[in-house]
Amino acid sequence: MILPAERDPRLITLRRGGTLTDDHHQLLAEWAALCAEHVLPLFEHEQPSDPRPRDAINAGRAWIRGEMRMMDARQVAFAANAAARGLPDPAKFAALAAGQAAAVPHVAAHDLGAAAYAIRAARASASPGETEPTRVQEREWQRKRIPGELRDLVLEDQRNRSAICWNVFDD
């Protein structure tokens, strides 16, 4: 579970009663796509002929450009999640990160799910004894790419939801 029982209104769009603008929603979607794309090779190495996770990342970006409806991107997210089934953890978590990225158009707070699963994918791919440094390295890579105007919001969200995101955002 990566979504809290009570959602932060700053991560809910204006039309749904929150304070998140469309521009900021799109920036969160792009950041989620970057996070998922960074670990996508872990999936593609395991399943080179399965395009579903890459299609999910592309769907999120198509939504950003206004080329795909939110509900269509959401459907592609389900396909990426299905691609994860039965795979070793690095590939599974990479596919789930892509699915979360494609779900951001539907619920902006899925951005953190994409980031959390990407960190889990990176950590799962690390050699024994390197899992913690790999987790921190991936987290820091992601943080450097948070859009500046959303940095404080995303970092606060990471602190607030780290416990339900497997503590991957802990400092």
pLDDT in tens, 54-95: 999 999 999 999 999 999 999 999 999 999 999 999 999 999
* Residue 1 pLDDT > 80: no
- Rounded to an integer, what distance in angstroms lies between the CA atom of residue 63 and that of residue 72? 9
* Residue 5 pLDDT > 90: no
The model's confidence at residue 3, banded by pLDDT at 50, 70 and 90, is: confident
Contact 142, 165 (CB under 8 A): no
- Rounded to an integer, what distance in angstroms lies between the CA atom of residue 140 and that of residue 168? 11
Please give the distance of CA 135 from its chain centroid, rounded to a whole number: 15
Phi, psi values for residue 32, rounded to 5°: -60, -40
- Rounded to an integer, what distance in angstroms lies between the CA atom of residue 25 and that of residue 79? 22
Q: Full-prediction pTM beyond 0.95?
A: yes
> Which residues have CB under 8 Å from 114's CB, separation 6+?
32, 33, 35, 36, 97, 98, 100, 101, 104
